[in-house]
Amino acid sequence: MERTRLGYLLVAAGGFVGAVARYGVDVAAGDTTGLGTLAVNLVGSLALGVIVGSAATTRTRLFVATGALSSFTTYSTFVGDAVALGTLTGSAYVAASYALGFASAAVGLLIGGRL
């Protein structure tokens, strides 16, 4: 891990980009079905798999994985969406999110050359 001022700036800049992108997806989705959250978590899982699987530099990993993807995907929103959907639908949403998230990460690792 690069513990320098540049490292902190890369994480902060990536966090800003990820948070703004996440807000954009929420605005575009404009519904209460949790599909926006599912979409960002699947895209984030895929992208993280690619970053981890590829020969990305430490600085790229700091900006993209630690910064952007950490603020783009959110566990708290995922849980909130699942609870709001109710017991049966929420349970199906959690199961689908985990299954599709792991599949997305595996595809990302495949694309990144690690799987």
Q: What pLDDT band is residue 60 in, cutting at 50, 70 and 90?
A: very high
Residue range 34-38: mean pLDDT, rounded: 85
| Maximum separation of any 2 CA atoms in the chain, in Å | 47
Contacts of 62 (CB under 8 A, 6+ apart): 1, 2, 7, 10, 11, 14
The tens digit of pLDDT for each residue in 72-94 reads: 998 777 888 888 899 999 999 99
With a threshold of 0.75, does the pTM exceed it?
yes
